[in-house]
Amino acid sequence: MPTPDRTSIEEITAAAREILEAEGYSGLTMQAVAERVGVRAPSLDKRVRNRDDLVRLVAEATFRDLGAQLNALPATTDGHKDILELANALRAFGHAQPNAFRIVFGASPTTVPPNLELIAHSVAALLRISADLAGPEQALNAARTFTAWAAGFIIMELGDVFNLGGDVEDAFHYGVTHLALAVHSDRA
Amino acid sequence: MPTPDRTSIEEITAAAREILEAEGYSGLTMQAVAERVGVRAPSLDKRVRNRDDLVRLVAEATFRDLGAQLNALPATTDGHKDILELANALRAFGHAQPNAFRIVFGASPTTVPPNLELIAHSVAALLRISADLAGPEQALNAARTFTAWAAGFIIMELGDVFNLGGDVEDAFHYGVTHLALAVHSDRA
DNA sequence: ACCTGAACACCGTTCAAGT
DNA sequence: ACCTGAACACCGTTCAAGT
């Protein structure tokens, strides 16, 4: 006799994301998710292979949201302005969802890379701006330089490892403007 | 009747570092460390407050080693050469101790910042090179830009999140050379 | 077909009891 | 003074039993 479903992948993922930010990475337990969606822990196994799989679901959903936000930014003809806006948006995203941000950028113990088309779509805006600044030949290198810097900065900021004083806000602005100039210099 | 010590903070820290790299962050358990140093888990409590404290010990020891390695690099009069060597050394360190590297740079769930003098000593070489390239005024901003980029790049590389093809080696070299040019440009 | 309780092997942490 | 076993409250995961 079939039993009606009491939860879904979507509900489980949403619950996991909330718990991750509220309770931290170690607080994201199968039992906590199960309780929130109203089932017992073993019942999650029907939709989620194991805890790593749950983390992967969170990472993919987060990455999708991040890509949507970055791609929705207005595109101007000024690459320097666009990259600053993109950096600010990425930073705001990291501050809003610090624990998910760490997972997406490989900083978490568990990392399962999302599928290629999701990646390609999520980095579209960054690649466009990078090509605009650095030229098509160096677009990927420029995009990776931006991403590495921004992800590293935000992860360190969230981890509270900027401990030598100075203005962190100023350091972020310094970084993005100098990076833009650097990757642009090849085209001069 | 006093009992002779059967272990020490140093031995515990060394064991923890080995286990961290061999078994991953979640494999770094009090029980595993206790077994390796030859005591029962509760006995660790005499020297280590809790698991977070154990992680802090690992982070500090790792940071100390990293600083020593970076400060031991030969200093030339060519800031561009020096920063490339430093970036390469940092990357080699990250590849040799990926899990500890993540903890040091705030990418891990638990982050307890080490004491200030340890930080100041460990980043001495980087600050010298940054001042050489960007001038004393912008040395801290330049150092933070370098560190954020390098840490982000290495964390992403270790997390295997560079999934769009291209040459990752080339991207690293592109990044460090363009960063050096960018922070140097203010002095021109 | 889905969900459950029970069970198992872990984990960190506390604490009274040993030496 | 240090170490231990026992205990407690967790955790992920498996699985036979229920509906």
Q: What tens-digit pLDDT sequence spans chain A (188 residues)? A: 567 899 999 999 999 999 999 999 999 999 999 999 999 999 999 999 999 999 999 999 999 999 999 999 999 999 999 999 999 999 999 999 999 999 999 777 666 677 889 999 999 999 999 999 999 999 999 999 999 999 999 999 999 999 999 999 999 999 999 999 999 987 76
CA A78, CA A90: separation in Å to the nearest integer? 18
Which tokens sit at A85? 């806006």
Q: What Å distances lie between residue B188 and A80, A121, A180, B183, CA to CA? A: 21, 39, 17, 10
Residue nearest to nucleotide C15 (CA to C1'): B42
Average pLDDT over residues B42-71: 96
How many A-B residue pairs are in contact by the CB < 8 A criterion? 172
CA B82, CA B180: separation in Å to the nearest integer? 10
What confidence tens digit (pLDDT) does each residue in A99-123 have? 999 999 977 766 667 788 999 999 9
What confidence tens digit (pLDDT) does each residue in A119-141 have? 999 999 999 999 999 999 999 99
Residue nearest to nucleotide D18 (CA to C1'): A1
Is the Cβ of B70 closer than 8 Å to some Cβ of chain A?
no
Q: What Å distances lie between residue B186 and A30, A81, A127, B81, B131, CA to CA? A: 52, 20, 27, 18, 12
The answer to whether residues A64 and A118 touch, using CB atoms and an 8 Å cutoff, is yes
What confidence tens digit (pLDDT) does each residue in B134-153 have? 999 999 999 999 999 999 99
A127 Cα distance to chain centroid: 16
Q: Name chain A contacts of B156, Cβ cutoff 8 Å.
A: 105-106, 147-148, 151
Radius of gyration for chain A, computed over Cα atoms and rounded to the nearest angstrom: 19
Angle between helices B51-71 and B30-37 (to 10 degrees): 70
CA dihedral (B2, B6, B10, B16) positive or negative: negative
pLDDT at B107 over 80: no
